[in-house]
Structure 1
Amino acid sequence: MRFVSRMRLGFVAAVVVGAGAPWLWAQPGAGGPPRKITIGLVAKSQSNPVFQAAYAGARDAARELGPKFGVEVAIDWQTPPDEDAQKQAEAIEQLARAGAQGIAVSCSDANTVTPAIDKAVELGSLVMCFDSDAPRSKRMCYYGTDDEVCGRKVMAELAQAMDRKGTIAILAGNQTAPNLQKRVAAVKDELKKHPQMTLLPDGVFYHAETPEQSVEAVNAAQSTHPQIAGWAMVGGWPLFTKNALRWRPGEVKVVAVDALPAQLSYLESGHVHALYAQDCYGWGFKSVEILLGKIVKNQPPHNERMIDDLTKVTQANAAEFRRKWDQWLK
């Protein structure tokens, strides 16, 4: 993907707008340097393109919003190479102890990261969640998808594509991720509205959230259970790589979450019926904007839970949506 090559994917990476180290404090003053603000970004994994998009959004927000707020912004990318909630927890506390004024987190496991979030708040950092929430923590707010709505939309669209009959399977990602658990539950609940459709017994397939692991999960299941006529993918993981779906276009119906550039090719080829785009780029951009507003101007978020509306992407508007990515990531 175009933006991957633009990113430094080391476990510790900082993007600084301007010169100077992020933890050298300076208050704004007449003729003096701007105050330096460090915002930590702790996503689920570096290997997942949706979080690479979030990182791009955070970097752009630092560049664009820093001057507007009269500060110099550094994004400290402390995301594990692969999903690991314990490493996330360690990164959150390390960021707080290093003096990060703000931290944005997508939780791999809310139970594991909640104590670290609470500790970071005690140490003086503002913490918010994006994509995957920790609602019982002391985090300030959440920005992202309404996961119940997401699951219902995916299943309703799949039912329409399958003429409301046939056997389906669910591709579900990380079994401990709270956002994915809610989506799976919503898919199952929506499925009850369609009496001629059934979920394959043991038909929820969990896997590490990498393209390779998800491709293996889908194709192994399809080969073993050829009666699967449709897939409800509550994440877009296998579609982040080429030649993932080993069947003829339209032979098996697929509705998936996210609409990154690599995924759009599956719409265009007819392998995927529809995608529901989350605001992956906005997870980073909006998180930085919200945190800066509170840190610099003491502006609280409008709501504790801020929901980004899903965008339905089909063959009809795939080219238009691809142009949006070109604008976001130019």
Structure 2
Amino acid sequence: MKRTKLVTMMALVLTLIMMITGCGSKAEEPAAQPAATPAAEDKDTSSEEPKASDDAQKSAADREPYKIGIVVKQMGAPYFDYAAEGAKKAAKDYNAEIISYTGPSSEDVNQEITFIEDLITQGADAILVSTADSTAIIPTINKAMEAGVAVFTFDIDSPDSDRLFCVTAGNSEESGAAIGESLVKLVEEKGQVALLTGGLGSETLNRRLDAIKGVLSKYPDIEVVATEACDDNFEKCVSQVENLIQTYPDLKAVAGVSSVNPPAAAMAIQSANKTGQIMSIGIGMPSQCSEYIDAGVIPELTLWDPGVMGYDAVAAAVNYMDTGKLPQNNEDYGEYGGKLIVEDNGTVGYIPSIIFTKENVHDYDF
């Protein structure tokens, strides 16, 4: 009897074990997968573009600092001093080293060529150039590119060279047309005006000049009496405007397309006691022009932040060396650098322009 009960109990235990094992096996079977959608079936992932996060990009901290050389068209000019500050900040943020920030004391493309060739010899990874002559610099830029140096231009472009990208301010035609329209309004569509520029070899400045002339050509009662180039030399520009004032006693306004022009013209106008009779406008720095804006010699001024330009140029060069990619539209360089405007996937990026008047000129420190 006892034996029968024992056998019966063992049989029950064995049956329970088999049931438990069967349930476990059923749980381990893979769940049925839903049928693939036609889109999923047809998708070929072998040729997908990698996402930005998948790029083989080294973090700045994991590589040696890039060596960057910067050549500007005029050392000592406040405009380029501010650009240098922005460039140095970007170099710190992006793990790069500015091995040289140099240029001639007055515009001289031959000296710029020598500086660029020296940087090639020094083993620069990238060179940033703001040139006095967009055409004469071409062979040297191309030589640097052939040597494996990443060449970017900033402020003043050399579009026919092999340079990779240019970081500059508002489209030359747009900024020139804006100055022309302001000039027309200020002189009330009639009278004698003079135009000023930095160097006649600069394609950017020439395009800006042409845009001003294009606007003025629509007003037959406005006479352009002269176009003067000062090679971005402040004293030379002051002297030129003094001569214009003496030569054209009915002169009503002077418009300049280089940042040297408006303050130099304003100084000459004040010295000749012509405040209120002759106006100075154009591209200029608030720090150099605020006193003349307050005095009414310069009614308005146009510029961009040269520090942002220097920052974005360095950031663009470093990003290119890290990823092999040039800036795209709305490329974001953070709180300081802001966003670049790149039209039609081109090779020129614009930073925004600012209009300065009595109301806001003291809000800026460059």
Aligned to 2:178: 153
Unmatched tracts of structure 1, length 5 or more: 1-27, 326-330
Query: Structure 2 matches for 1:5-16, cutoff 5 A?
Result: none
Q: Does residue 308 of the first structure (1) align with residue 351 of the second (2)?
A: yes
**How many Å apart are 1:208 and its aligned residue?**
2.5
Aligned to 1:191: 216
Percent of aligned positions that are identical: 24
Aligned to 2:309: 283
* 1:189–1:239 CA distance, 2 compared to 1 (3 A): closer
> Whose helix proportion is higher, 1 or 2?
2
Aligned to 1:113: 137
After superposition, what is the alpha-carbon deviation per residue over 1:270-317, rounded to whole angstroms, capped at 9, x for unaligned? 110110013322221111110111112333221411122321111121
Helix, strand or coil at the partner of 2:145? helix
Contact 1:118/1:138 (CA < 8 Å) preserved in 2?
A: yes
Q: Does residue 41 of the first structure (1) align with residue 67 of the second (2)?
A: no
Letter in 1 for 2:221: Q
Helix, strand or coil at the partner of 1:81? coil
Structure-1 separation of matches of 2:197 and 2:98: 34
Aligned to 2:42: none
Helix, strand or coil at the partner of 1:290? helix
Letter in 2 for 1:76: S
Letter in 2 for 1:299: K
Aligned to 1:264: 290
Aligned to 2:34: none
Helix, strand or coil at the partner of 1:35? coil
**How many Å apart are 1:264 and its aligned residue?**
1.8
Aligned to 2:255: 232
Q: Does residue 100 of the first structure (1) align with residue 129 of the second (2)?
A: no
Letter in 1 for 2:235: E
Aligned to 1:181: 206
Helix, strand or coil at the partner of 1:226? coil
Contact 2:75/2:105 (CA < 8 Å) preserved in 1?
A: yes
Aligned to 1:84: 108
Q: Does residue 54 of the first structure (1) align with residue 73 of the second (2)?
A: no
Helix, strand or coil at the partner of 1:164? coil
After superposition, what is the alpha-carbon deviation per residue over 1:18-71, rounded to whole angstroms, capped at 9, x for unaligned? xxxxxxxxxx99xx98502111111101132211221121112222x13xxxx3
**How many Å apart are 1:240 and its aligned residue?**
5.0
After superposition, what is the alpha-carbon deviation per residue over 1:174-217, rounded to whole angstroms, capped at 9, x for unaligned? 121211111111111110122321111xx101122111111111
Helix, strand or coil at the partner of 2:326? coil
* 1:38–1:233 CA distance, 2 compared to 1 (3 A): same
Contact 1:236/1:263 (CA < 8 Å) preserved in 2?
A: no
**How many Å apart are 1:258 and its aligned residue?**
2.3
RMSD: 2.1
* 1:72–1:168 CA distance, 2 compared to 1 (3 A): closer
Contact 1:233/1:255 (CA < 8 Å) preserved in 2?
A: yes
Q: Which one of 232, 236, 239 corresponds to residue 209 of structure 1?
A: 232
**How many Å apart are 1:75 and its aligned residue?**
4.4
Contact 1:40/1:75 (CA < 8 Å) preserved in 2?
A: yes
Structure-1 separation of matches of 2:76 and 2:106: 6
Structure-2 separation of matches of 1:74 and 1:47: 17
Aligned to 1:319: 362
Structure-2 separation of matches of 1:44 and 1:301: 24
TM-score, L = length of structure 2? 0.74
Helix, strand or coil at the partner of 1:44? coil
Contact 1:34/1:72 (CA < 8 Å) preserved in 2?
A: no
Letter in 2 for 1:192: S
Letter in 1 for 2:288: A
Letter in 1 for 2:254: W
**How many Å apart are 1:238 and its aligned residue?**
4.5
Q: Does residue 221 of the first structure (1) align with residue 247 of the second (2)?
A: no
Structure-2 separation of matches of 1:296 and 1:240: 41
Contact 2:168/2:351 (CA < 8 Å) preserved in 1?
A: yes
Greater RCO, CA 8 A, separation 6+: 1
Structure 1, 150-159 or 247-256: larger mean CA deviation = 247-256
Letter in 2 for 1:318: V
* 1:47–1:223 CA distance, 2 compared to 1 (3 A): farther
